[in-house]
Amino acid sequence: MSMMEADFETEGEFIRISAEELERESALRDRFAAFWSTASGDQRAVYDAFISGAPLASDAAVDEVNDAALDACFVRPQQARPGQAILFLHGGGYVLGSARAYRGFVSQIVSRTQIPALVIDYPLAPEATLPAAPDAARFAWEWLVAHGFERIAIVGDSAGGGLTLVTLQGLASKPHGPAPIAGVVFSPWTDLSLSGASMLDPDVADPLIGSDYLRDCAGKYAGRFGVTDPLASPLFGDMKGLPPLLVQVGTDERLLDDSRRFARRAAQAGVPVELQIFEGMHHVFQLDVAHLETSRTALDRAAGFLRNAFERR
């Protein structure tokens, strides 16, 4: 066992990947570099094109939500048990991303769990600042409850992972209807103050996001709130009463310590939390389900966690 592996195993489960998979990861990073070096035009459109690379699962369908009060779509399996749903909150640094772009990725989760998912468009910065996004997430939760969904898990990636945890903390402190079944977060952004050691660690080779980008996003999103306010950074929020959590993260990303520190604090507060750290993987590698076996394995694990959570509650 390497020193790095031993270090990570003190925090969570360390998942090694094969030499062949590392080669595929390297080739994928070359594709990332080529895409971003030639990308031009509206930044949000470019980001959506990048995220839309996740394919739509063949056994999932997408329905637009016909409700003037909610910008969202439902990704649903062919058959689903009544009353169960996932609320999915997308990433993009709180300045990018859309429900439409994430349909393919969410369909991969829906296909594996056979649980429908509501994917929402929440207000983006800099046009909207805190508390607009958490308010939108809370409204979406209440919308699901009002429409008969009594067993709900919340899932999110990156900034959407942070928003997931903020939403779960808010529901724990001020419940509305049934308690959340579980939370699953992929590479969550939990600390907008960027105080994690991995943020500047020269040994972390993050091919997708840098600290300067995150600092810019944090300033645009926080508005009149401080970046350490729990509404912005769930790392500094109250962990008591959170449902079972699964946190997945790669070793090659600036937000590595956002995941490690949140999982540690949640566990210390008595929250059932699983932390899975994937060797050599980049930020939200689960999106690359078409290219990496590790992405498919991670989604299989996340789906198993969700299915078990729904069966227990």
**How far apart, in whole angstroms, are the C-alpha atoms of residue 63 and residue 74?**
5
Query: Which residues share a beta bridge with 43?
Result: none
- What's the DSSP call for residue 202? T
* 8 A C-beta contact, residue 176 and residue 167: no
Q: Is 215 exposed, middle or buried (0-12, 13-18, 19+ CB in 10 A)?
A: middle
* 8 A C-beta contact, residue 233 and residue 130: no
* 8 A C-beta contact, residue 181 and residue 245: no
Please, what's the largest Cα pairwise distance for the chain? 55
Selecting among 98, 107, 111, 158, the annotated active-site residue is 158
Selecting among 21, 25, 253, 279, the annotated active-site residue is 253
253 is catalytic: yes
**How far apart, in whole angstroms, are the C-alpha atoms of residue 15 and residue 108?**
21
Q: Which tokens sit at 221?
A: 């999103």
Give the SS3 label for residue 145: helix
**How far apart, in whole angstroms, are the C-alpha atoms of residue 248 and residue 214?**
19
E strands, the chain, are: 13-15, 60-64, 72-77, 84-89, 117-120, 151-157, 183-186, 245-250, 273-278
For 220-223, the CB contacts below 8 A with 24+ separation are 220/94, 220/95, 220/125, 220/126, 220/129, 221/93, 221/94, 221/95, 221/125, 221/126, 221/129, 221/130, 221/133, 221/192, 222/129, 222/130, 222/192, 223/125, 223/129, 223/130
25 is catalytic: no
Contacts of 155 (CB under 8 A, 6+ apart): 86, 87, 88, 89, 109, 117, 164, 183, 184, 185, 302, 306
Q: Which residues are catalytic?
A: 158, 253
